[in-house]
Structure 1
Amino acid sequence: MTASLDVTIYHNPACGTSRNTLALIRNTRIEPTVIEYLVTPPSREKLIQLIADAGLSVRDAIRKNVDPYRDLALEREDWSDKELINFMLEHPILINRPFVVTALGTRLSRPSEVVLDILPLPQKGAFIKEDGEQVIDENGQRVN
């Protein structure tokens, strides 16, 4: 039985990590479903599922270096998971990214190479991240 080639990325084209993750997916010659989550945020149920399936806490799935995080004082430990989810839905920029979903699992792909663990096909050639770091060699093998 072969793994499904369905891959979905919750993407922000303004984010280098998200662009690198998308490029790593495409380096397998898979064209994923791309959801620009700032334009089309996930539903409450989908967001909760993404976080749980990735094995994260709600707090782990929040971006901390954006204005809404500081403005809402989200560093306080007394916010409940439900309240944090509400903030993420109200301000999708708070959702850390990119989440990637495949038949092999769900990951928050930070750093972008995390996506390699759940891709159903191997890399098809060399890959160099935007910052110049080589991640995949010319034989499609991960560079350590």
Structure 2
Amino acid sequence: MQQLLLFLMAVVAGAMLAVQAGLNSGMGKAVNSPVYGALISFVTGGIALLAYCLVAGVPLGNVRRAFDLPWFYWLGGVLGGFYVYAIIVLAPRLGVALTIGLTVAGQMVFSLVIDHYGLLGIPPQSVNWLRILGIAAIIGGVVLLRSN
């Protein structure tokens, strides 16, 4: 049951990315800048997360642990900023479905590399033909999305 809930959470998160692409694209147009659109997205997201932490009683002292990590872990926010910026630029030009499809294809390919080599503290999971076939199916889906 717990795994089913985790799968459902992943599907909902994916659906939210598609909605977020449209919303952030509109914000980027409204402020006439994809960079400011991304910044507004991160600021409002940061405020929402801070409010959640305060309401849920997440101990603020836990944040200090982030300073014990190697420097490159801090790049997660930079990478997220680039992702949101890219979505703002790409969604109106390619459409939300193709944009998300291409980003998911990129995520899957690099996720396989991270899993295979156990990068960033992730337990290694070897590449096999079924995993490669799964990525090929996703890439095939992206090709079909593009062909209309």
Determine which structure has the larger strand proportion and give its number: 1
TM-score, normalising length from structure 2?
0.24
Determine which structure has the larger helix proportion and give its number: 2
Instruction: Answer 1 or 2: higher relative contact order, Cα 8 Å, separation at least 6.
Output: 1
